[in-house]
């Protein structure tokens, strides 16, 4: 089974060194490389990351920015927390680094022996089965040319799926900010052909991942309309009137409506652990 890995390192040269060392191991898949902890945190919170190679000192954020991220990771409510491997230029790591029980400290400069040793240690840990990957075909515009591509993602990596104006294709918005546009699978086919227990049709043109929804608010541009809001981003999507009650039920029945003008509210609903047990009400299209 492949190890899904991300790198959090603000120095491009150090990024390249670690990437080349990880490429020597066929069972390692580099999911992302991040220069800051905020962007990396979004990818980690989406789940399904096995290992985080984390620089303790992120110069653009502070000497202990990496440790702060490690502590946040340790408090995440995920079925499977990623294994942390610190990369550092200091022989004596900060005392607080021991609080998160990392699987290794790699002292820079890195080499294959150091990386291979920590990977072998992680490989010996029994890993739960990884969630299935979803194949998404998309079209990108590169230098004015239409280029077809394919990406494999997990359910948790998808923020929402939205029908395009042509009515024939959809765009898939990922948690990390990537957009996979021009996918030819309709929303109905997404619902019928894939096992997406945590997704809900909130509008005839939108299918959202409820794991990333943190509430709803009134839409100031309509009389009775509402928008949903997401954790960690400012995106808002309209909720059709017919789906609002179903949304409340899906979010655990403890949703508090946000005042107009606010886009986020922490602790807005109960844990969504029961989402996968049954289909939710109000998932029909308008």
Rounded Cα distance between 262 and 147, Å, is: 38
Q: What is the pLDDT of residues 59-93, one digit of tens each?
A: 778 777 888 888 888 877 777 789 999 998 876 65
Q: What is the pLDDT of residues 11-32, one digit of tens each?
A: 999 999 999 999 999 999 999 9
Query: pLDDT at position 268, please?
Result: 36
Q: What is the pLDDT of residues 180-223, one digit of tens each?
A: 999 999 999 999 888 898 999 999 999 999 989 988 888 887 77
Total-model pTM: 0.50
Nearest in space to 188 (alpha carbons), one of 166, 172, 176, 204: 204
Mean pLDDT of the chain: 82
pLDDT at 130 over 70: no
Fold held by 134-277? OB fold (Dihydrolipoamide Acetyltransferase, E2P) (2.40.50)
Q: Give the length of the chain.
A: 286
Q: What is the pLDDT of residues 29-49, one digit of tens each?
A: 999 999 999 889 888 888 789
In this structure, CATH architecture of domain 3-123: 3-Layer(aba) Sandwich (3.40)
pLDDT band at 152 (very low <50, low <70, confident <90, very high): confident
Query: pLDDT at position 239, please?
Result: 92
What SS3 class is residue 33?
Answer: strand
Residues 56 and 88 sit within 8 Å (Cβ to Cβ): yes
Q: What is the pLDDT of residues 254-278, one digit of tens each?
A: 444 555 544 333 333 343 444 444 4
Residues contacting 282, CB < 8 A, separation 6+: 200, 242, 243, 244, 245, 246, 247, 249, 250
Domain spans, the chain: 3-123, 134-277
Q: Is the peptide bond before 261 cis (omega within 30 degrees of 0)?
A: no
The beta-carbon contacts of 162-171 under 8 Å, at least 24 apart in sequence, are 162/205, 162/206, 162/207, 162/237, 163/187, 163/204, 163/205, 163/206
């Amino acid at each position: 089974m492949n190890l899904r890995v991300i790198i959090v390192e603000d120095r491009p040269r150090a990024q390249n060194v670690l990437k080349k060392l990880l490429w020597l191991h066929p069972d390692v898949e580099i999911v992302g490389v991040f220069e800051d902890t905020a962007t990396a945190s979004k990818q980690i919170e989406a789940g399904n990351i096995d290992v985080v190679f984390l620089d303790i000192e992120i110069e653009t954020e502070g000497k202990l920015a990496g440790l702060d991220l490690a502590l946040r990771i340790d408090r995440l409510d995920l079925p499977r927390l990623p294994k942390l491997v610190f990369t550092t230029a200091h022989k004596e790591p900060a005392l607080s680094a021991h609080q998160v029980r990392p699987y290794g400290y790699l002292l820079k400069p890195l080499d294959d022996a150091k990386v291979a040793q920590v990977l072998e240690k992680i490989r010996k840990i029994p890993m739960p089965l990884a969630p299935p990957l979803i194949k998404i075909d998309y079209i990108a515009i590169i230098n004015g040319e239409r280029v077809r591509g394919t990406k494999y993602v997990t359910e948790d990596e998808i923020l929402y799926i939205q029908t395009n104006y042509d009515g024939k294709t959809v765009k898939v918005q990922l948690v990390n900010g990537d957009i996979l546009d021009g996918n030819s699978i309709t929303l109905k086919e997404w619902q019928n052909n894939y096992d997406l227990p945590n997704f809900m049709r909130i509008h005839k043109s939108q299918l959202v991942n409820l794991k990333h929804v943190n509430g709803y608010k009134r839409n100031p541009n309509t009389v009775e309309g509402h928008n949903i809001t997401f954790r960690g981003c400012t995106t808002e999507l309209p909720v059709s009137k017919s789906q609002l009650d179903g949304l409340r039920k899906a979010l655990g029945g403890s949703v508090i409506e946000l005042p107009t003008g606010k886009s986020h509210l922490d602790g807005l609903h109960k844990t969504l652990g029961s989402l996968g047990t049954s289909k939710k009400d109000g998932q029909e299209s308008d």
